[in-house]
């Protein structure tokens, strides 16, 4: 039996930065708040709460506090409320997300109707939408482009964690209905790299195990892409692994979303090894240190 780890997996730059900024802020004050969970990983959010970094849901609740803005960003209105209520903002919005806010504001000013490709319920997309105008809309894979649709010009951009294939497919549906389609490829490079590495690995494995929050958009996307190629499991922790899942499997691939710490990847790796028993050959343990060097 072999366990292989995808070349790029786990924490992205934006998530590492948001956690570091919250922990640094916590050094200087009694308590730090985040608007919504700092990252889409229940285990890490629980650890952070124990360290005095708590998530609350309503921006109106905070007055005169230290508030870490998570990597997904917040809405324009939430930012105004937090500022008006004299909170100190630690802005850990991922630079890739910040860029989408700027593009949307610029394109609204340039008179483009805007479509955002992404999940309309995700905080990142809700934040993006708030920088648009009444013509700014969210589209997803099931978006209906009817014969009567026509845009003289149209701006399209993507939630940072979508797949480039799906983004391209949407462009293919929209292009016949546009004179000009101005597409901004706002999928973050670490998302693309993580996806490409997982897809490549999935082609060589009988089972892919994707580790990350069940509510994490980029983790769900990894699982979806791998499931198109091979059997795929999406788990949050090693506790979800049972012996039956691995029956007859000879090669397992591991990947993890942007909110998954290395520690969790190693715990999953160790659990799989334990299930197979020490007697089995685990030939690709070397992949873990290779990843560790990168992280």
Minimum separation from the CB atom of position 216 to a copy of itself (A): 23
Q: Which is nearer to a copy of itself, 172 or 289 (CB)?
A: 172
CB closer to a copy of itself out of 181 and 266:
181
Instruction: Identify whether the C-beta of residue 202 lies closer than 8 Å to the C-beta of residue 4.
Output: no
Three-state DSSP at 135 gives coil
Annotated catalytic residue 28 = no
Query: What residues pair up with 3 in beta bridges, in sequence order?
Result: 252
CA-CA distances (angstroms) from residue 66 to 33, 46, 146, 289? 6, 19, 48, 37
Q: Is the dihedral of CA 242, 248, 252, 258 positive or negative?
A: negative
Least Å distance, CB 103 to a copy of itself, is: 8
Q: How far apart are CA 12 and CA 161, in angstroms?
A: 11
> Which is closer to a copy of itself, CB of 98 or CB of 182?
182
State how far Cα 22 lies from the chain centre. 18
How far apart, in whole angstroms, are the C-alpha atoms of residue 45 and residue 31? Answer: 14
Query: CA–CA separation, 35 vs 55, rounded Å?
Result: 6
Q: How far is the CB of 217 from a copy of itself (least distance, A)?
A: 19
CB 219 to a copy of itself: min, Å: 21
Estimate the crossing angle of helix 262-276 against helix 287-294, to 10 degrees.
180
- Alpha-helix residue ranges (DSSP H) falling in the chain: 13-28, 42-50, 76-84, 95-109, 123-129, 164-174, 189-202, 217-227, 262-276, 287-294
The residue behind tokens 């494995």 is 205
Using the minimum distance from each CB to a copy of itself, give the nearer residue, 29 or 185: 185
Nearer to a copy of itself, 133 or 193 (CB): 193
Least gap, CB of 102 to a copy of itself (angstroms): 12
Active-site residue, selected from the candidate residues 28, 57, 65, 124? 124
Across the strands, what pairs with 68?
A: 34, 90
Tell me the C-alpha distance between 108 and 63, whole Å.
Answer: 32
Distances (CA, A) of 119 to 126, 165, 186, 187, 204: 9, 16, 14, 13, 30
Q: Closest distance between a copy of itself and the C-beta of residue 165, in Å?
A: 8
Residues of this chain that interact with a copy of itself (CB under 8 A) are: 164-165, 167-168, 171-172, 175-176, 178-185, 192
By C-beta, is 180 or 200 nearer to a copy of itself?
A: 180
State the catalytic residues.
124
């Amino acid at each position: 039996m072999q366990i292989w780890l995808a070349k790029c997996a786990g924490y992205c730059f934006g998530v590492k930065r948001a956690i570091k900024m919250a922990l640094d802020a916590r050094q200087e004050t009694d308590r730090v708040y985040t608007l919504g969970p700092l990252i889409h990983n229940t285990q890490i959010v629980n650890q952070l709460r124990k360290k005095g970094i708590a998530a609350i849901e309503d921006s109106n609740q905070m007055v005169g506090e230290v508030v870490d803005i998570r990597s997904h960003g917040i809405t324009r209105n939430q930012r105004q409320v937090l500022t008006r209520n004299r909170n100190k903002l630690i802005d850990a919005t991922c630079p890739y997300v910040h860029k989408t806010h700027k593009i949307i504001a610029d394109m609204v000013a340039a008179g483009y109707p805007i479509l955002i490709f992404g999940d309309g319920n995700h905080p990142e997309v809700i934040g993006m939408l708030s920088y648009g105008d009444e013509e700014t809309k969210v589209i997803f894979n099931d978006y209906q482009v009817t014969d009567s649709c026509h845009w003289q010009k149209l701006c399209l951009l993507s939630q940072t964690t979508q797949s480039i294939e799906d983004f391209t497919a949407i462009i293919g549906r929209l292009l016949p209905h546009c004179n000009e389609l101005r597409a901004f490829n706002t999928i973050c490079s670490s998302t693309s790299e993580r996806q490409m590495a997982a897809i490549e690995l999935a082609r060589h494995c009988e089972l892919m195990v994707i580790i990350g929050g069940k509510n994490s958009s980029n983790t769900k996307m990894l699982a979806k892409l791998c499931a198109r190629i091979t059997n795929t499991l999406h788990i949050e922790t090693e506790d979800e692994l049972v012996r039956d899942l691995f029956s007859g499997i000879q090669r397992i691939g591991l990947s993890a979303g942007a909110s998954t710490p290395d520690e969790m990847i190693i715990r999953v790796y160790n659990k799989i090894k334990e299930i197979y028993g020490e007697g089995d050959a685990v030939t690709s343990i070397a992949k873990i240190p290779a990843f560790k060097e990168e992280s």
